[in-house]
Every structure is written in structure tokens, then in C-alpha cells.
Amino acid sequence: MTATTTGTPAKTGWAEGWGLFRTLTLALSAMALGFLFAIGWDTEGYRMVIRATARTSLVLFLAAFAASAAFKLWPGSFTRWLRRNRRQLGLGFAMSHFIHALAIIALWRTDPSTFWLLSNPRSIATGGAAYVFIALLAATSFDRMVKLLGPRLWSRLHWWGAWIVALSFIFTNGKRIPVSGWYALPVTLVIAVIVLRVVGGRKQRRAAAP
């Protein structure tokens, strides 16, 4: 889910490598089921899951998207952890958005009128395009796929895919700012991470210059 591959993290545990991915998957599943059992397997329950996973998806995406640049600018134990586990954080984002999609489909099947009140064909088209790239990024986030595609093609796919997802977050939340000013927060966070990546890239190029 990032522009460069880092291989399998050397450390193991619930917060490292594939243990981290399992932890995120269990936590996200428990959160979604908890809301559904507490609120109901109905319109309100599905909308709560949609809202919650929209937030967890944003956090996990930004963690993976910012990991490399954050380490370049502020090397330390936390940013090293981010960089080491960015692949699993990216897959955690994909899992969160998969649950998000399931909740959207459930809302559409349960309450079509509310679904179409909250959505439109344009939003479905742009969201669907983002999901295609999320699926491609997730499917190629394994060493075997890196070898199959080749480092150059893999790197380009993940570079473009990450930026397309970032722009999708900006578009999806930006269009809702007139409804609620709170949607400016995720837009600001994504733009801040984009700036972080640009600054981190410039620092790396300066360091590499003769």
C-alpha cells in the first residue's frame, strides 16, 4: 500500500507484522459487530458502521501513506514502527474499507430510499474507482506479487494507487463540507500528509545529491 516495499517486519507480536494485521482485522470486525448488535441490523446500525469505518479507514490510510516521509523527517521509535509496518497498516485500511463497503451494500438492500438520499450515481462511480485501486493495492501487497510484477511496475502501481486514494478522500469529504464543517478535518489531514510527503521527498533528494 506504499510506494516502496520494506519486506516482512523482523519483529513479531500482536502489534508487529502480520500479527498487527490480525489485530486490526479482529478489532475492526468487533467494532462493526458491536455497533450492529447494540443499535440493530437496520438503517441506523448500518449507518453507524459506515461512519465508524470511514474514520478508521482514514486513520489507517494516513498512517501508511505518511510512514516513509515521517521517518525521513523525524526518525525515532514510533516513525520506525510506522515504516516497518506500513504494509500491514495499508492492508488494515483495505480491511476497514471492505467492511465499510459491506455496510453500504447492506444499507442499500435494507433501506434503498435512505441510500439514494445519501448517495448518487456520481459518488458511486468515483467511490467504485477508488475501490478498484484499493483492491489492486491490497492484492499486490505481498512479496510474491512484487516479484511477479517486478519492482518498477509494482512501485508505480502503489505510487499512483496511493495518490488516487488520497485524492478520493479529499473529494469524498470535501463535497460534504457545506453539510457539516467537520468534514474539513479529514480534508485538512490528507493535505497535511501530502505536504509531509513532498517535504520528505525533497529532504531525501537533497541528501542523495552529490
CB 20 within 8 A of CB 81: no
The DSSP 8-state label assigned to residue 15 in this structure reads T
The DSSP 8-state label assigned to residue 5 in this structure reads -
Residue 124 backbone zone (phi > 0: left; psi -120 to 50: alpha; other: beta):
alpha
Q: Pick the closest to residue 13 from 2, 4, 22, 26 (CA basis).
A: 22
Helix, strand, coil share (%) of the chain residues, nearest 5: 80, 0, 20
At 33, which amino acid appears? L
pLDDT tens for 82-133 read 999 999 999 999 999 999 999 999 999 999 999 999 888 888 888 898 999 9
pLDDT category at 47 given cuts 50, 70, 90 is very high
Q: Mean pLDDT, to the nearest integer, of 46-53?
A: 98
The C-alpha atoms of residue 152 and residue 147 are separated, in whole angstroms, by: 10
- Structure-block grid coordinates of residue 111: 433501506
Q: Is the pTM of this model over 0.85?
A: yes
CATH number of 17-208: 1.20.120
Sign of the dihedral defined by the CA atoms of residues 171, 48, 125, 113, in that order? negative
Q: What is the pLDDT of residue 11?
A: 66
Domain boundaries along the sequence of the chain: 17-208
